[in-house]
Amino acid sequence: MFQSAAYLLVCLVCVAVLAKTASPTARQAVLLAASYGLYLTWTRWFAAVLIFSVVMNYLLGGWLRRKPTAAHLWAGIFSNLLLLFAFKYVPELAGQLSIPSLQSFSQLALPLGVSFWTFQALSYLFDLYREEEIDPSFAEFALYMAFFPVTIAGPVCRLPEMLPQFRSQRTTAWSGIVEGFRRIAVGAFMMQLAKLLGQGILAGDSIATGFDRTTRWSGPDVWCLAFGYGLQLFFDFAGYSHIAIGAARAMGMGVPENFERPFASTTPSIFWTRWHMSLSFWIRDYVFLPLATMRREIWWRHLALIIAMTVFGLWHKASLLFLIWGCYHGVLLVLHRQAQQAERKLNWKPAPGPWNLVSWILTMTLISFGWIFFRANSLAQAAQMLSALLSPRSYAEHFLSSSLYLLVGLLAAGYGAVLLISSKLQPQREAPSPSFLVRGRWLWIPPLYALAMILLLMITLTQSGGVGQLMYRGF
C-alpha cells in the first residue's frame, strides 16, 4: 500500500514539474531522483543490485562501442545472464535440489524488475554491436535502466527509442496528460477485474483456489480454470501495462504498447504479436532472427522458432513446466507455418467469415490449453488436469462452484462486448455524420465507467484477504 501511494504521489509531482520544464538536464534530474527514490522504497539491497547493473553495463557498452567484436558482446551477455541467473534461477534451483552448498541461496530475494531491466541492458549491448548510433551519458543510461513507470514489469524499452525523448526540449502537452490519466484509469479498472477473478465472487470460489486447493477436476473445470486464468493474467498484466504507459505518457514519454486485443487473435502467430508485445518482439529481434539467419534450411528456421519460444518460457521461471509451456508454443507456431505452406501449395483460400470463426475458436482453445502448464503448481497436477481433459466421462460433472463459471463467463462476455463497442465507436472517415453514441461518448462513457468501478470496489472490499497484484512481479 505504501509503495502504491508513493508511486501515485511521485507520478503526480513529475507530471506537474515536467509540464512546466523544458530543460533536458532538469527533466532528467527530476526523473532520475523519482525513479531511484521509488526503487529505494522497496529494499536498499534491490537498489544496490540495480546500480551495479547500471555501472557494469555502461562500462561494457563503452568497451563495445570502441571495439564492437563478438568476444566483447559475449562478455556482456555472459555478465548479464550471470547476474540474472544468480538472483532468479539459483534460489529456485536451491529449493528444488538437495545440494548443501546451494541451500544458503534458497532464501535470496528476487530484485524487483530484474528480468525486465536486464533485458533492456542486453538490448543496449546488442544495438551497440550492430553499430547503431547511440551514445548516452551515464545519467541518461541510468535513467533508461530505472525509468520508474516501467522498472518493475515493463514494457521492455529500447534505448534508441527512449534517448531522443530524454533529450527532448518540449514540455508535456495537456492532451498527453489527459490521455495518460485515461490509460491509468483503464488500467486500474482492469486490475480490479483481475483481483475479482483471483478472489472470486464468493470466498473460496476463485481461480486461485481452483488451482491451489482443489484436488479433483472434471474436463469443464479444467477449461474454466485455463481460460479464466488466461483472462485473469491478461486483465492484471495488461492493466498494469496501461498504468505504466499512461504514467509515462502523462510525463511526455512514449513507451511500447504491450497488449493489442490478444483474445481476438485468429492464429497463434497473431496472438504472439499482440500478447506481451515488448518481450515478444525482443525475443524475435535478439533471439529468433539471429538464430534463423545462421542457416537457410527450413527445418533450422522451425527449430530456431522453438528455441526462441523455449527461451521465452524459461525467462519466466527455471522449471520444467515453463520449459514445456515455451516449447509447446514454439511447436504451435511451427504447425501454423506448416498449415500456411499447405494452403499455398494447395492454392486453397477458405471463406473468410466462417473460417475466421473456426480459426479463432481453435486458437483460443490451444492458447488456453497452454495456460495449464503456465499456472499448475507441479507436473503431477498438470498431468492430472490433462487427464481430466482427455476423459470423456469427466465432462458429465463439475467440482468447481457455479459462481466461478458464472464469473468467468460474464467477464469474458463483457470484455467481448467492450471490444465490439469500442470498434464501433471509432470514427469512420466514410461516415458523413457519426451516430449519437459516437458523438456523445464522452458524456455516457465516464458515468458508466464510474458505476462499474464502484460495483467492483464494493465486491472486492467485502472479500477477506485476496490475491496479490501484480502477478508478473514474480517474474
pLDDT digits (tens, 9 = 90+) for 368-417: 999 999 999 999 999 999 999 999 998 888 888 889 999 999 999 988 88
3-state helix, strand, coil in the chain (%, to 5): 75, 0, 25
Report the distance separating Cα 184 and Cα 7, nearest Å: 12
Q: Alpha-carbon torsion 189, 118, 370, 200, what sign?
A: negative
- Higher model confidence: residue 147 or residue 103? 147
> Do 105 and 91 form a contact (C-beta atoms < 8 A)?
yes
Grid cell of 146 as nine digits: 530505472
Q: Residue 266 carries which DSSP code?
A: S
**pTM of the predicted model as reported, rounded to 2 decimal places:** 0.88
Chain segment 226-281, per-residue pLDDT in tens: 999 999 999 999 999 999 999 999 999 999 999 999 999 999 999 999 999 999 99
- Higher model confidence: residue 411 or residue 454? 411
Confidence of residue 322 (pLDDT cuts 50, 70, 90): very high
Task: Tell me the mean pLDDT in the region 162-170.
Answer: 92
Peptide bond into 290 cis (omega under 30): no
N residues, the chain: 475
3-state secondary structure of 44: helix
Chain segment 262-275, per-residue pLDDT in tens: 999 999 999 999 99
Report the distance separating Cα 429 and Cα 98, nearest Å: 66
